[in-house]
A = this chain, B = another copy of it.
Amino acid sequence: MSDLNNSVIFPKGNKMPEPFSKNFIGQAYLHMLVPGDKEFNCPIGNVTFEPGCRNNWHKHLGGQILLVTGGRGWYQEEGETARELKAGDVVKIPANVKHWHGAARDSWFVHLSVETNSQAGPAEWLEPVADDEYNKLK
């Protein structure tokens, strides 16, 4: 199992704080590199997922970009096949597209999360990814 327990390049940070943690299954860690503000409109966080950890379905009102720095994970948009992710991959998530992302069952997973056009408002969190859907992913 790829062990990224110390994250990649950027700090792993602390356990995902409330109120975000309730939108995750499993343990994730968050280190904010750039906090949300009205100047840059572009909060950036380093997110580390333990094996099996993923977030619930959600939407960003202004979009989001994922820059994968380590491990192996998944990204899925509603109605689409899940896309496998590894270091160096980039995901462009348009505004209002329902999606989830997280680690593979057997690997840690680390990505930078860039929230674009954050002045549009906070993410809208939805239902968890069904276990039987997630467990199909190899």
CB–CB A34/B112 < 8 A: no
CB-CB contacts of A1-42 with B at 8 A, as 1s and 0s? 000000011110000000000000000000001100001111
Segment touching B, from A51-59, A87-95, A125-133:
A87-95
CB–CB A9/B88 < 8 A: yes
Copies of this polypeptide in the complex:
2
CB–CB B116/A41 < 8 A: yes
CB of A114 closer than 8 Å to a CB of B: yes
A interface secondary structure, majority: loop
CB–CB A42/B116 < 8 A: yes
CB of A76 closer than 8 Å to a CB of B: no
- 12 A-B pairs besides A10-B88, A39-B63 with CB distance below 8 A are A8-B9, A9-B87, A10-B90, A34-B90, A39-B95, A40-B63, A40-B92, A40-B116, A42-B42, A42-B65, A42-B114, A114-B114
Chain B residue numbers with a CB within 8 Å of A11 are 88
Measured between alpha carbons, how far is A65 from B95 in the docked complex, in Å?
21
Measured between alpha carbons, how far is A34 from B10 in the docked complex, in Å?
20
Measured between alpha carbons, how far is A92 from B10 in the docked complex, in Å?
15
**What residue in chain B is nearest A119 (Cβ atoms)?**
B117
